[in-house]
Amino acid sequence: MKGSAWVAFIVGVAVVIGGLILGKAYNYKFKTRNTVSVAGSANYNFTADLIVWSASFDRTSMDIKEAYAALKTDAKQINDYLGAHGIKSEEIVFSSVDIDKLFENTFTEEGKQTGNVFKGYKLHQTVKVESKNIDSVERISREITELLQSGIELSSQEPTYYYTRLSDLKLTLLAQAAADAYNRANTIAKNAHSKLGELRRANMGVFQITGQYSNESYTYSGAYNTSSKNKTANVIVRMEYELD
Q: What pLDDT score was predicted for residue 21?
A: 54
What ranges do the domains of the chain cover? Answer: 31-47+165-243, 50-162
DSSP character at residue 39: E
Give the tens place of pLDDT for each residue, 98-132. 999 999 988 888 878 888 898 999 999 999 999 99
Tell me the mean pLDDT in the region 146-157: 87
Note the pTM of the prediction, 2 decimals.
0.78
In CATH terms, the superfamily for domain 31-47+165-243 is: Protein of unknown function (DUF541), domain 1 (3.30.110.170)
The CATH code belonging to domain 50-162 is: 3.30.70.2970
Least confident of 45-49, 54-58, 136-140, 148-152: 148-152
Give the tens place of pLDDT for each residue, 199-211. 999 998 889 999 9
For the chain, give the number of residues: 244
CA distance 10 to 146: 107
